[in-house]
Amino acid sequence: MHVIGTAGHVDHGKSTLIHALTSIDPDRLREEKERGMTIDLGFAWLRLPSGEEIGIVDVPGHERFIKNMLAGVGGIDLALLVIAADEGVMPQTREHLDILDLLRVERGIAVITKSDLVEPDFLELVREEITETLSSTTLAGAPVVAVSSQTGDGLQDLIELLDSQLQETPQRPDRGRPRLPIDRAFAISGFGTVVTGTLIDGSISVGSELEIVPGRRNVRVRGLQSHKQAETSAERGSRTAVNLTGVDVDEVSRGQVLTTRGWLKTTGAADGYIRMAANAPGPLRHNMQVTVHWLAAESLARVRLLDSNRLTSGDSGWVQIVLETPLPLIKGDSFIVRSNVGTLGGGEIIETDARRHKRNDPNLIARLEALSAPDPSEVILRTLDSGGPLTVPELARRAALSEQDAGEYVRRLTDDGQIINVGAGATLLFFSQDGWNTLTSAATDQLSAYHKSFPLRRGASREELRSRLRAQPENFPEILALMQAENVLVDEGAIVRLKGHKPALNPPQMALKDAFLAQLREKGNNPPTGVVIDPELLGFLTDEGEVVPVGEGIYYDSETYRNITAQVLEYIQINGKITVSETRDLLNSSRKYVLPLLQSMDARRLTRRIGDDRVLA
């Protein structure tokens, strides 16, 4: 199924032409009928001689309503560029043509309306002017047909031409994730909220559980209509009205997107490639505030020029768009940039969730060029390089592929050794080889720095390393396992270290150690608590098992600890239990030492507390 749209100057007969073709008046607002001028989007449909039924979007021509025009042309397959015979190409003709060119609309028909108002010689001059105007755009070579909506002359020729052109127009790629940009929302008594739009991807069915983005509002499809006929499902390319439950009409607005749940995210910054309009009214300067139009939505934004300081008519370049209102963009989407004086340019989204970049960076430009390559394998690799690791669903979203296609390309790249996978099932992550090398280098650098700062520690905690590498907790054990298999590091459970790292004391530290242990042994069951010792040395002795901490500032040398715990356990075996006071008498010690000692034995599961007694664990 295809959708066509009108374009052209105000009062050139776009709506009248649609009415003549379809017998449907696309002007639905009372103000439009009173003023005889289209203000907002209008809709109609037409069955062609081949049997295909097409949707038609009629857009306003007045420059004050250009944002409404932009909301309607984002999902069209073919444009009807309407030019009145008695006026020829006018300013809004050129701006609308610029927009079609910037959106890469490559199928179109130039329709000369009001042909009954001029002489044949004049009509031929208009035809030549149109051909010349189209020659430098994506519609170069488009057929030109003259019609009269009043007499009917040429209308059948236009219908047959539409049919033949659309039969040669390929369907949009189906990525399996429905997106319906909402261009209207209204309520019908007894039914509730209805939204309309052109389904540009995937399919939806009655009963589908969907969401509206931005806003993450969960909804359910209660009913579907296409061209006022009830349907059980809607396929990509169709003009669709969707009756929704779970949302009030005042919670929905033009520009939001109806889609399946969970995958579509808003982004506040995106990288793209822009071409300036042939008739741009002024330059695009770095960090200039503009309005960005995307599908049926718009947002104020700043445009950061990444490889220049200024772009003028006919120029092109790499940009980062920083949106004031985040939008659910995906790679490959088209956008238009306008200032308060007109259309400046437009282009294609290359990467969403973009980070702020250093400008005029050759490496950045090379990466963006790779991301815009036609080869999906290259796009996947560069996407993983910049944003990895990623799951297949997230990779599919960022690379603008179906999950099935993304999975197949990932399998091939994995078999070729260009991609590394970690984990399993829903948490299976994929790294590019460069991305994996970067991560392992970062792990090595982090551990090297840690060992240098804390040479007496066995290693860094697992959680500290994970946090420094910004890895997700659900996949980190598998990441560590692979790094250990590649001899990058050693995973000791709670501690992670480099393979060659082994804490060792220098001579001054050995002397301090010997002195400290001698003090502990001298006092036996009642070790000194006021000894000042380097915490790092104390931690080393604890890790090595030479001292045992039992409480705040209380340490036993390991031999003493083994002896006193053995005495306590033997006492319990003989008597069945032991109390704090019995322990104090047994060890000839005091409550200061005995209480933390027993708590230490509980923690080590040597004993178990029952009331005031300890028994064997």
Of 30-39, 102-111, 137-146, 419-428, the poorest mean pLDDT is in 30-39
Residues 384, 475, single domain; the answer is yes
pLDDT band at 67; cut points 50, 70, 90: low
Residues 251, 351, single domain; the answer is no
pLDDT in tens, 121-130: 999 999 999 9
Side-chain-side CA neighbours of 81 within 13 Å: the count stands at 31
Residues 204, 148, single domain; the answer is no
In a domain, 118, yes or no: yes
In a domain, 385, yes or no: yes
| Six-digit token string for 243 | 């009756």
Residues 417, 390, single domain; the answer is yes
| Six-digit token string for 148 | 């009269």
The CATH number covering residue 86 comes to: 3.40.50.300
Among candidate residues 487, 504, 521, the one where a domain is terminated? 504
| Six-digit token string for 499 | 């393979």
Alpha-carbon distance of 240 to 461, in angstroms, equals 55
Residues 150, 226, single domain; the answer is no
Q: Average of pLDDT values for 246-268?
A: 93
pLDDT band at 62; cut points 50, 70, 90: low
Residues 235, 183, single domain; the answer is yes
Q: What is the pLDDT of residue 307?
A: 94
In a domain, 174, yes or no: no
pLDDT band at 63; cut points 50, 70, 90: low
In a domain, 238, yes or no: yes
Tell me how many domains the chain contains: 5
Q: What is the pLDDT of residue 32?
A: 41
In a domain, 326, yes or no: yes
The answer to whether 294 touches 333, Cβ cutoff 8 Å, is: yes
**Strands of 358-418, DSSP E:** none
Side-chain-side CA neighbours of 56 within 13 Å: the count stands at 27
Residues 519, 394, single domain; the answer is no
pLDDT in tens, 296-348: 899 999 999 999 999 999 999 999 999 999 999 999 899 999 998 889 999 99
Rg of the chain on CA atoms, in Å: 36
Among candidate residues 260, 282, 299, the one where a domain is terminated? 260
Alpha-carbon distance of 58 to 71, in angstroms, equals 11
Q: Is pLDDT at 451 greater than 80 in this prediction?
A: yes
Residues 399, 463, single domain; the answer is yes
Of 32-46, 134-148, 513-527, 542-556, the poorest mean pLDDT is in 32-46
The CATH number covering residue 302 comes to: 2.40.30.10
Q: Please state whether the peptide bond connecting residue 473 to the residue before it is cis, i.e. omega within 30 degrees of 0.
A: no
Residues 151, 211, single domain; the answer is no
Residues 544, 418, single domain; the answer is no
Question: 544-565: string of b/e by CB count within 10 Å (b at 16+)?
Answer: eebbbbbeeebbbbbebbeebb
In a domain, 517, yes or no: yes
Residues 114, 32, single domain; the answer is yes
| Six-digit token string for 120 | 């044949």
Among candidate residues 348, 365, 382, the one where a domain is terminated? 365
Beta bridge partners of 7: 81
The CATH number covering residue 469 comes to: 1.10.10.10
Question: 409-434: string of b/e by CB count within 10 Å (b at 16+)?
Answer: bbeebeeeebbbbbbeeeeebbbbbe
pLDDT in tens, 561-580: 999 999 999 999 999 999 99
In a domain, 172, yes or no: no
Q: Average of pLDDT values for 197-223?
A: 93
Domain encompassing residue 423: 373-504
Q: Is pLDDT at 36 greater than 60 in this prediction?
A: no
The answer to whether 421 touches 435, Cβ cutoff 8 Å, is: no
Q: What is the pLDDT of residue 58?
A: 81
Residues 16, 140, single domain; the answer is yes
pLDDT in tens, 384-416: 887 778 889 888 888 888 888 888 999 999 988
User: Averaging pLDDT over each range in 59-68, 217-226, 394-403, which range is the top one?
Assistant: 217-226
Q: What is the pLDDT of residue 33?
A: 45
In a domain, 354, yes or no: yes
Q: What percent of the chain has pLDDT over 90?
A: 59
